[in-house]
Each structure stands twice: as C-alpha cells, then as structure tokens.
Amino acid sequence: MRIQGEMPPEKEEEEKVKSLSLSIQQPQKRVVVGYALTSKKKKSFLQPKLEVLARNKGILFVAIDLNRPLLDQGPFDVVLHKLLGKDWCGTIEDYRKENPEVAILDPPDAIEHLLNRQSMLNDVTDLNLSDCHGKVCVPRQMVINNDPSSIPHEVTRAGLKLPLVAKPLVVDGTAKSHELFLAYDQFSLSELEPPLVLQEFVNHGGVLFKIYIVGEAIKVVRRFSLPNVTKQEVSKVEGVFRFPRVSSAAASADDADLDPSVAELPPPPLLEKLARELRHRLGLRLFNVDMIREHGTKDVFYVIDINYFPGYGKMPDYEHIFTDFLLSLMRSKDKNRAAQ
C-alpha cells in the first residue's frame, strides 16, 4: 500500500534525476586565484589535472602580470605566490591593506622566516608532543657565517659530533640552496663555503618522511634519504661528500620493501598536533616538513627542514587536496561575512 501523496517509485527516481540535473546546471560561484610563480614552479604546480579539476569546481587560475600594478588587477579571491625580494613583499603588503578580504597565500613576513635555516627550526625546538605517541626534536646545529678555516675550531668548541650535515644558510629557491654536504672529519670542514648551517647527522635508516600541509590537510610520503653511518665509517672515512638534494635523489620509498621499523609512518596524533602547532606558530598554510625517525627507536623524530610552498605536484592526489583547500577558504570567508 502506498501512503497518500507518495510518488510511484519510477516517478520518484525521475524527480531525483531531474533535481540532480538542475543542481549541476546551476552556475557555481567562481573562485578566482591570482598567481605569481616562477616559470619552474608554474610548470610543476599548474599541471593539466589540477587546472581541469579546478575548472570543474568553479576555480579559475589567473596569472598576475608582474609588469602592471597588482592593485590594478583582479578582482581576486585568493592570491597565491612564491616570489622573493623586498619589492614583491612590499607589493603584496600594499595589496593586502587595500584588499583585506582577499586570502593571501601566504604572508611574506611569515615566508621569510623559512628562508633562513638559522630561524627555520626555532618553532620546533620547544614543542612538547609527548602526549601524542612520540617526541619531536631538532638536530644540534650551529651557524658559520664566515672564515671557513675557523670551522674545525668552532665545531670543537660547540661540541658537535661527526659526521655533520652542512647546508646553505639561505634558502633562495635555487638548486644550490638545497644542496647538502656530509662531512666525516673536522679538517675537511674548512673546504666548505659559508654562510652555512652545520647539523649533527642522525641515523634514520635511509628513509625520510615528507609531511605536506595544505591548510588543515596533511599528507605523508616516504622518500629515500642518506644511509646510516657506522662508527667504523666515521673513524676511517675522510672528506666532504656532496648531495644535490637528498630527498629527490631517488624515487618514492612508499612502494619499496623496507624494514617495517623504518617504514612505519609517524603516528597520526603526532602529525596532526605538529601540523596544527606549526601552522599557528609559522602563520603559514602551505608548507612541508622533512622529518626522520632516529634509527633504533620507535617514537623519536627529528625535524630537519621546513619548506614553504613545496613541490605539491609530487604529492599524491594534490589536485583534489588543493582545490578542496581553496574552496574551504571561500566557505570560511562567507561564514565570517554572514557572522558580521
């Protein structure tokens, strides 16, 4: 028996299809994202799969013309950028003051904090994540600004243990700024070119965790890294060895046959709290964290690098994660507007 007013099943299905069709045909509110990226970053980030999905979701990416005043362009809902220099920072700041409703990804002064490896890890040093099934540390490190001949003495005075990882102090987006060197003996350290950061090398089973953060979303992938260094190697090997970029030197380690104790991802509660704390402390929404697990432990991790607007094109499902993030920015803006 059918209740009065109830549609026949076939009619009900017909109405559902009609309703769905109408909802699809309704024009979406378009989200305009103005972007200012280097040609290299544009190629790696604005892949066809991202642009097609974005278009289907009502998101349009528009290139910002760097030869015209930014204030004369748009209107934009979001400004996405990764350019360096005081002039550009001033341009973005002026635009932000005139357009407070536009989401700027991300504030230049917050980005600048990650362009110097001396300050990069400051926000990690006093994190207490012991209630999240793990401990997060930073390697002991020191900064060398000049006179390479003084490095052996400075290292001895600081009490740093060999081997040491040497990285350029300034991160300026060039391949050179992502180079690193592994030094096995103190005297070879004088071959290095300051300014640089020296970090104690932590054995980690040759696997690094890249933690991508896009707003509230977190994605973790494994990458091959430098192998463990034995005490015998430290006593016998001399010299400084160069690595162009450790985490991109090999393919993803996600599908490799790894020792489970090495391959196990950091616990989700730890990742969630780490991401939440760093978002707040850094004032950034687009960054990634390079983290390693100390070999022989289950829950002792070290953050060794933080990068602004990393190579998201290498992150699985990045097009879905990023477009969802952009739409969430608009929902938050609409919610705030309605509450006023």
Q: Give 29-106+312-333's CATH code, choosing from 3.30.1370.60, 3.40.50.12780, 3.30.1330.30, 3.40.50.11370.
A: 3.40.50.11370
- Confirm whether residue 240 is marked as ligand binding: no
> pLDDT tens across 284-335, in order?
999 999 999 999 999 999 999 999 999 999 999 999 999 999 999 999 888 7
- For position 1, what pLDDT does the model report? 38
Secondary structure (H, E, C), the chain: CCCCCCCCHHHHHHHHHHHHHHHHHCCCCCEEEEEECCHHHHHHHCCHHHHHHHHHCCEEEEECCCCCCHHHCCCCCEEEECCCCHHHHHHHHHHHHHCCCCEEECCHHHHHHHHEHHHHCHHHHCCCCHHHCCEEECCCEEEECCCHHHHHHHHHHHCCCCCEEEEECECCCCCHHHCEEEECCCHHHHHCCCCEEEEECCCCCCEEEEEEEECCEEEEEEEECCCCCCHHHHHHCCCEEEECCHHHCCCECCCCCCCHHHHCCCCHHHHHHHHHHHHHHHCCCEEEEEEEECCCCCCEEEEEEEEECCCHHHCCCHHHHHHHHHHHHHHHHHHHHHHC
- Confirm whether residue 178 is marked as ligand binding: yes
- Confirm whether residue 305 is marked as ligand binding: yes
- Confirm whether residue 82 is marked as ligand binding: yes
- Confirm whether residue 280 is marked as ligand binding: no
- Confirm whether residue 301 is marked as ligand binding: no
- Confirm whether residue 307 is marked as ligand binding: yes
- The CATH code for residues 114-308 is 3.30.470.20
> pLDDT tens across 25-44, in order?
444 689 999 999 999 999 99
Give this prediction's pTM.
0.86
More confident residue, 54 or 335: 54
> pLDDT tens across 251-261, in order?
566 655 567 77
Distance CA 102, CA 54 (A): 18
- Confirm whether residue 219 is marked as ligand binding: no
* Mean pLDDT score across all residues of the chain: 87
- Confirm whether residue 203 is marked as ligand binding: yes
Percent of the chain with pLDDT over 90: 69
- Is a pLDDT exceeding 60 seen at residue 249? no
- For position 5, what pLDDT does the model report? 41
- Confirm whether residue 206 is marked as ligand binding: yes
- For position 246, what pLDDT does the model report? 58
Kindly report the backbone phi and psi dihedral angles of residue 299, in degrees, each rounded to the nearest multiple of 5, phi listed first.
-135, 20
- Is a pLDDT exceeding 60 seen at residue 13? no
Please state the domain extents for the chain: 29-106+312-333, 114-308
> pLDDT tens across 154-168, in order?
999 999 999 999 999
- Confirm whether residue 21 is marked as ligand binding: no
- Confirm whether residue 5 is marked as ligand binding: no
- Confirm whether residue 209 is marked as ligand binding: yes
- Confirm whether residue 113 is marked as ligand binding: no
- Confirm whether residue 41 is marked as ligand binding: yes
- Confirm whether residue 298 is marked as ligand binding: no
- Confirm whether residue 127 is marked as ligand binding: no
- Confirm whether residue 300 is marked as ligand binding: no
- Confirm whether residue 201 is marked as ligand binding: yes
- Is a pLDDT exceeding 50 seen at residue 21? no
